[in-house]
Structure 1
Amino acid sequence: MLDFTSDVAAAELPAANETDANEHNQLSDQALLDAYSNAVIGVTERVGPAVVRVETGPKQRSGRERGGLGSGIVISPDGLVLTNSHVVGAAKEIRLRDLEGVVTDARVLGVDPDTDLALLRADGARDLRYASLGNSRHLRRGQLVVAIGNPLGFESTVTAGVVSALGRSIRSVSGRTIEDVIQTDAALNPGNSGGPLVSSAAEVIGINTAIINGAQGICFAVASNTAQFVLAEIIRHGYVRRAYIGVSGQTAPIPRRHAVVAGVENKMGALLAQIEPDGPAAQAGLLPGDVAIKLDGVDINGVDDLIRVLDRDRIGRTLSMDVLRLGRLRAVDIHPVERKPSARQNLAP
């Protein structure tokens, strides 16, 4: 008589191991989901109370008067608030509403349309809940981020996602390119503008600024390091200092034959369309039709490069600029001055 008991037991053993493995995987998945949820909850509880709703326009509005709505983040206990410049606009009256519904009047300390950032101060506010600005250079693609704001008027809304890309460039309302922008798939809608993009360490690593209409999961935030720079400039000067040479232009291709004759490798340059009379460019002898290809040793491959090079560190210095004029390479010395801020930018603290 044959005994199949041992064979049956052996056949059942893999099935038991497989069941244990499935249960282990389910427990592991649950642990990961719990960790993700706890991370988002922790960030929300720590940073959420520092997020405010930014309302603009008169308190009592007539039928024709319309106000704006956005978000902001308190970054100091004495009431400094970062938001977007397009949220503030040219509003004369600004109010902040916190998580508990308390409304406080605010004033603009300075705006920088070139980076779509604005700094406000809550009037008479002290010991407010605030969040810290982190170092956006430490970000990695795929990193968990949380966006908090007031989309479409729904207060204290939380969405989560990841850092989709780093180092993006987008066009600001002033026409200048905003560099080092963070792309995220955290859901944003109108009203999120000016609110914080937060890391799992509860540090503000971006200020939400733009969405692409019709796109799914493509949103942008100005990096916190850019915000730190703008913040320091506004506190010190009331606006962001940048160099100015008095030209308007456009990105244009350089004909291959001109590049060969001049001995340059640029395929594109900044074509100077207009020269402001008595400005630094006019004083340097630049003419409409000149194509800038290098400034202060930096290659210029378009208008954006030219604007980027004209930062505060080049104010008041004599710089060498290489231009192509009728296909011939010329070097001129130019002396950038400080760009005059607009009336809206020049708001002293």
Structure 2
Amino acid sequence: MLAARTLGRVLALSRGAGQLVHGRAAAAAAAAGATSDAVGARRAAESLSTAELFRLLDACKVDYRDALEKKELVERLLAARAGLPTAAAALVERALASAAAPSPAALRRSSSQGARHGLSVPLQPEEAGVVATFARAAPSVAFITAVGVAQGGALVPRGGAEASPRGTGSGFLWDAQGHVVTNYHVIQHATRVAVSVGEGKDAKTFEAGLVGVDRDKDLAVLKLRDVPQDYALQPLDVGTSSSLLVGQTAMAIGNPFGLDRSLSVGVVSAVGREVRSVSGRTIAGVIQTDAAINPGNSGGPLLDSRGALIGVNTMILSPSGAFAGVGFAVPVDTVRRSVNQILRHGRVARAGLGVSVFHGSEGAMGLPGVLVMVVPPQSEAQRAGLRGTVQDARTGQTILGDVITEVDGTAVRGTEDLLNLLESKAVGQTVELTVQRGTMLAATRRVRLRLQDVGPTD
């Protein structure tokens, strides 16, 4: 009996020790699981498109109006995740779980590509990545047909670069609401636009209406009409162009010569290029790539190796008109700003001084800077003390106005410099102008001026 009691105590102590060990292991596993869950949630959130993040934040009533980049939207969603109401939390968790799941179609297509083509060796990892990226992105690329296009008015950027011919072009789905982004010059003279999206049995063609344009950036936003409720539109993931490096992979998908959803692969050849848009304004920060861009590629997406949008293919540099290894894409950070303004306001707001200036590329009439010609009465510029060019009523002599030589300490050599500096500013922001005035422009003054919305760019 005593031996049995002793054995019982030993077994009880063993069970207690085991439960303690298991409890500690469970706690460690729970902590590891929480860390893994947080990392997984971040990765899933980062894989969502900007449009999907907008929709989730809207549904959860999370304010994101001051978020300018996708990473800020991700942080806003993750920060709000823990404190959401039950229904909103469930919506977010379902979205993150869906984003974390791999695409079965892409995996099947990439893993079986070699077998389907009778190859004796499997695809290399880099090849499989490209195949999977194309499979994921291709349904989001649009074939655009501009009907009733007028002749003439070809887009010829500075340096002899030539835009793809109008009439057909490319584009891509920006969001699940049916907004399509393309080049302005693709639809510039169209009276009617047809847009084809999807692949295989899911391919459909829709009429599209114009939402708005940004001529200065050669961008246009269309809206598909009469899309069936059960037809799933697949928008592209939107990346960033601010951190692009020369040499990283660049993939262009479009419809060159009418060959729909063709892929070309190259690298980012350079960043920070400048080309001239259809409006005559310079597009700054342009991406140069050697991924083949041919007639019909205009308006199509330039993607990174993950399949995220980094630019909109817009033109090539070629003495013959055929692709010569130098293509240009409007950077996605520029595209995002323009498209979001068009979607929210129907146009692109542009910050400006609200005055008329003498237009010259390198100064005005030999002057180092930009000459102010007209300052409207009762304007912000007049109240700030800016002076325009006037004619002396008594002598008939022209009295030159202020010459702007700096904006917030950055030198201004000509009109293009001034416009590019103001482009980075917001309506309502105050800037400090350095101006020269008076006889022989000997006096230097500083004028603080609040920027105005100088109207749409179209």
TM-score bracket for this pair, using the shorter chain length: 0.7 to 0.9
Instruction: Confirm or deny: 8 A CA contact 1:294 1:323 kept in the other structure.
Output: yes
Output the CA distance in 2 between the equivalents of 1:154 and 1:85.
Answer: 21
Q: Gapped runs of 5+ residues in structure 2?
A: 1-119, 152-164, 390-399
**Contact map agreement 2:216 2:283 (CA 8 A) in 1:** yes
Does the 8 Å contact 2:387/2:401 carry over to 1?
A: no
Q: 1:124 to 1:282 in 2, by over 3 A?
A: same
| Closer, same or farther: CA 339–56 of 1 in aligned 2, 3 Å | same
Q: In 2, are the aligned partners of 1:247 and 1:281 still within 8 Å (CA)?
A: no
Identical positions, percent: 35
What is the CA-CA distance between 1:281 and the residue it aligns to? Answer: 5.4
Equivalenced residue count is: 300
- The correspondence of residues 265-284 of structure 1 with structure 2, limited to 5 A, is 269-272=368-371, 274-275=373-374, 278=377, 284=386
Out of 346, 361, 364, the residue aligned to residue 238 of structure 1 is 346
Work out the CA distance in 1 between the residues paired with 2:121 and 2:306. Answer: 19
Unaligned runs of 5+ residues in structure 1 are 1-29, 259-267
Residue type at the aligned position of 2:145: E
Alignment correspondent of 2:69: none
Structure 2 contact 217–330 (Cα < 8 Å) conserved: yes
8 Å contact 1:246–1:280 — kept in the other structure?
A: no
Q: What is the match of residue 276 of structure 2? A: 171
- Give 1 or 2: higher helix fraction: 2
Task: Call closer, same or farther: CA 1:62–1:114 in 2, change over 3 Å.
Answer: closer
Q: Is the aligned partner of 1:202 residue 2:307?
A: yes
Distance 1:241 1:120 in 2: 18
- Give the residue type in structure 1 aligned to 2:139: P
Is the 8 Å Cα contact of residues 275 and 281 (structure 1) preserved in structure 2? Answer: no
Q: In the alignment, residue 131 of structure 1 is paired with which amino acid?
A: L
| Aligned residue type for 1:191 | G
Q: Distance in 1 between matches of 2:382 and 2:273?
A: 34
Q: In the alignment, is the contact (CA less than 8 A) between 2:372 and 2:388 conserved in 1?
A: no
Aligned equivalent of 2:140: 50
**1:320 and 2:432 matched:** yes
8 Å CA contact 2:355–2:372 kept in 1: the answer is no
Question: Is the 2:212–2:347 contact (alpha carbons within 8 Å) kept by the matching residues of 1?
Answer: yes
User: 2:293 matched to which residue of 1?
Assistant: 188
1:216 aligns with 324
Partners in 2 of 1:292 and 1:123 — Cα distance?
A: 47
Higher strand content, 1 or 2: 1
In 1: Cα distance, 2:336 partner to 2:150 partner: 38
1:145 aligns with 2:247: no
Contact (CA 8 Å) 1:250, 1:272: kept in 2 or not? no
Q: Which residue of 2 aligns with 1:293?
A: 405
How big is the shift at 1:210? 1.1
1:86 is aligned, of 185, 204, 208, to: 185
> Alignment partner for residue 121 of structure 1, among 223, 242, 248?
223
Change (3 A) 1:276 1:124: farther
CA deviation string 1:20-54 (max 9, x = no partner)? xxxxxxxxxx9998333223212211111111111
In the other structure, the counterpart of 1:252 is 362
The superposition leaves residues 204-232 of structure 1 with CA deviations (integer Å, 9 ceiling, x where unpaired) of 11110111122721111111111111121
Deviates more, 1:218-227 or 1:305-314: 305-314
Q: Secondary structure at 2:340's aligned position in 1?
A: helix
Counterparts of 1:77 and 1:254, CA distance in 2: 48
Deviates more, 1:270-279 or 1:213-222: 270-279
Task: Report deviation, 1:290.
Answer: 4.5
8 Å CA contact retained: 1:271, 1:289: no
- Tell me, in whole angstroms, the C-alpha distance in 1 between the residues paired with 2:338 and 2:364: 35
Does the 8 Å CA contact 1:250/1:270 hold for their aligned counterparts? no
Alpha carbons of structure 1 residues 230 and 323: separation in structure 2 relative to 1, 3 Å: same
User: TM-score scaled by structure 2?
Assistant: 0.59
Q: 2:336 aligns with which of 228, 233, 247?
A: 228
Q: Decide which moves more: 118-127 or 146-155.
A: 118-127
Q: 1:322 to 1:138 in 2, by over 3 A?
A: closer
The higher relative CO (CA closer than 8 Å, separation ≥ 6) is in: 1
Give 1:298 shift.
3.4
Question: 2:451 — aligned with what?
Answer: 336
Residue 41, structure 1, aligned to residue 131, structure 2: yes
The alpha-carbon distance between structure 1 residues 67 and 253, as it changes in their structure 2 partners (threshold 3 A), is: closer
How far does residue 90 in structure 1 lie from its aligned partner after superposition?
4.1
Go from structure 1 to structure 2 and tell me whether the alpha carbon gap of 1:295 and 1:204 turns closer, same or farther (over 3 Å shift): same
Pairing partner for 1:305 from 396, 413, 417: 417
Could you tell me how far apart the structure 1 residues matched to 2:192 and 2:281 are?
Answer: 27
Q: Conserved in 2, the CA contact under 8 Å of 1:69 and 1:191?
A: yes
Task: Work out whether residues 96 and 103 of structure 1, in 8 Å CA contact, stay in contact via their aligned partners in 2.
Answer: yes
Q: What's the offset of the Cα at 1:291?
A: 3.1
* Mapped partners of 2:122, 2:314: distance in 1: 31
State the secondary structure of the residue aligned to 2:341.
helix
Q: Normalization by structure 1: what TM-score?
A: 0.76
Partner of 2:172: 73
Alpha-carbon distance in 2 for matches of 1:129, 1:237: 24
The 5 A counterparts of 1:98-137 are 98=197, 99-100=199-200, 101-125=203-227, 126-137=231-242
